[in-house]
Amino acid sequence: MRPAPRPPDPSRDARIWVATVLVLPVALLLFYLLWRLVLVPQRSACPPHCARTDWTRAALQGVDWAGADLREARLVGAQLAGATLREADLYFANLQGAQLTGAILEGATLRAALLDQADLRDADLRGADLAGARLRHADLRGADLRGADLNAAILTGADLRGTLLDEETRLSEKWRQVWEIVNQGAAGRSLVGADLRGANLTDADLRAADLREARLEEALLMGADLTDARLEGAALHQAVLDGSTRLPARWRQVWEIVNRVELGRNLRSADLRGANLEGAVLRQADLREARLDRARLVRADLREAHLQGASLVATDATDASFRGANLREADLRGARLVLADLALADLRGTQMDRTTDIAPKDRRVWELVNWGGVGRDLAGQNLSYADLAGVDFTGADLREADLRGANLARAILRNADLSRALLADANLRDADLTGAVLDGADMARVQR
């Protein structure tokens, strides 16, 4: 038998009514007061209390926020042209892309502020604290920076043309030098070894300037005039040029080599003397009879390149790869080839002398391909991946020699002792092994 239903509870209904009629309105009222008095955007109190407020892309032209607290405020893309922000605290504020043309920021604190791509043309920044500020690609043309502190400021790509500085402006030696170049010109000036990385040198007059060994990586050179400039050793990696940049054809070619990858590039007889080609990709390039004297080829990729008759006198090719390259008749006197990869490189007729800095193994290979190996004691020597094609090793002692991957095609190995030699992966096509001793030699995957 089912139990009888309970009768309605009047007290429960009364509680629900009280909660609905009295408690809920009171709760809503309290929430409204909390929202109105506490959670309302802080803009209602701004200025002067604007810390950590968000004014992204806000239209604030001409506002008077002198002395306002804008620490860590977000003003990305804000329109602040003509605004008065005298002595405002903008510590770590985000002003990236903000429009601040003609703004008054005299005495303002902009320490560690983010001002990348901000438009600060004709802004008044006298005595402003910009220490550690990030001003990458900011437009500072005509800005007044007299007495401003720009210590440790990042000015990569910033346009400093027409900017006003004085002896009290605290600016690093590098950026003051950039300011001098773009505002006073540098025609004929000695800038040997200058650090101009990331500098905005748009329309700069650098005619006949001495820029040897200068660091010009990521520099903006649109419209710059470098006619007759000396650029031996200068780093042009990721430098930005345009059609109006006046640069001698020789150095424009160097710029193209280090910035544009092109396999099999035709550089036959090219004049690359003193060029900074560090890290350049010159794989399979035609560099026959090219002039590379005193060039910087550190970590360059010259695999399978054609360098027959090329001049590399005093060239620095540290850690470069010449694997499989043809260096016949190339001039390597005084060249630095420390840690260079010369595996399977053709060194026949290559010129070297005691000033050529090359690994003992590679010098040994050079000696063998040019003077032969008849009767030589080469026991235990490392000749792996050497191009020894056609070399005469008649009667040579090659016991336990490491010849893995070596090119021994057409080599003469008559009566040579190759006992326990490592010949795995070696090329022995058409090699003469008459009378050779091969006891215990590793002949795995030998090409015959």
Average confidence (pLDDT) over 314-343: 98
Lookup: tokens for 354: 């005691």
How many Cβ atoms are within 10 Å of 26's Cβ, its own excluded? 9
State pLDDT tens for residues 354-371.
999 999 999 999 999 999
- Kindly report whether the peptide bond that precedes residue 10 is cis, defined as omega within 30 degrees of 0: no
- Residue 126: is it exposed, middle or buried by C-beta count within 10 angstroms (0-12/13-18/19+)? buried
Stated length of the chain:
448
Helices (H), 42-187: 173-184
Average confidence (pLDDT) over 272-285: 98
Q: How far apart are CA 286 and CA 382, in angstroms?
A: 30
Return the pLDDT at 264.
Answer: 95
Return the pLDDT at 9.
Answer: 58
Query: Would the pLDDT of 69 be above 70?
Result: yes
Nearest Cα to 50, choosing from 68, 76, 75, 35? Answer: 68
Return the pLDDT at 1.
Answer: 47
**Higher confidence at residue 36 or residue 437?**
437
**Higher confidence at residue 261 or residue 29?**
261
Contact 364, 384 (CB under 8 A): no
205-237 burial, b at 16+ Cβ within 10 Å, e below that, comes to: bbbebbbbbbbbbbbbbeebbbeebbbbbbbbb
State pLDDT tens for residues 217-272.
999 999 999 999 999 999 999 999 999 999 999 999 999 999 999 999 999 999 99
Query: Would the pLDDT of 29 be above 70?
Result: no
Contact 75, 92 (CB under 8 A): no
**Higher confidence at residue 233 or residue 45?**
233
Return the pLDDT at 39.
Answer: 42
Domains identified in the chain and CATH numbers: 43-171 (2.160.20.80), 262-359 (2.160.20.80), 372-448 (2.160.20.80)
Rounded to whole angstroms, what are the CA distances from 432 to 390, 414, 429? 10, 6, 9
- Residue 2: is it exposed, middle or buried by C-beta count within 10 angstroms (0-12/13-18/19+)? exposed
Nearest Cα to 134, choosing from 148, 114, 105, 152? Answer: 114
State pLDDT tens for residues 160-177.
999 999 999 999 999 999
Q: How far apart are CA 404 and CA 421, in angstroms?
A: 9
Average confidence (pLDDT) over 34-47: 55
Average confidence (pLDDT) over 312-319: 98
Lookup: tokens for 194: 């200058």
Q: Which residues pair with 200 in a beta bridge?
A: 220
Q: Which amino acid is at 248?
A: P
pLDDT class of 115 with cuts at 50, 70, 90: very high
Query: Would the pLDDT of 42 be above 50?
Result: no
pLDDT class of 16 with cuts at 50, 70, 90: low
What's phi and psi for 363, nearest 5 deg?
Answer: -65, -35
Return the pLDDT at 448.
Answer: 87
Return the pLDDT at 47.
Answer: 84
State pLDDT tens for residues 87-97.
999 999 999 99
Return the pLDDT at 45.
Answer: 72
Mean pLDDT of all residues belonging to the chain: 93
State pLDDT tens for residues 175-215.
999 999 999 999 999 999 999 999 999 999 999 999 999 99
Lookup: tokens for 309: 């008759």
Return the pLDDT at 286.
Answer: 98
| Angle, CA of 281, 259 and 322, to the nearest 5° | 15
Distance between the two ends of the chain, CA-based, in angstroms?
102
pLDDT class of 38 with cuts at 50, 70, 90: very low
Q: How far apart are CA 48 and CA 385, in angstroms?
A: 74
CA 390, 392, 394, 399 torsion-angle sign: negative
State pLDDT tens for residues 373-413.
999 999 999 999 999 999 999 999 999 999 999 999 999 99
Average confidence (pLDDT) over 297-320: 98
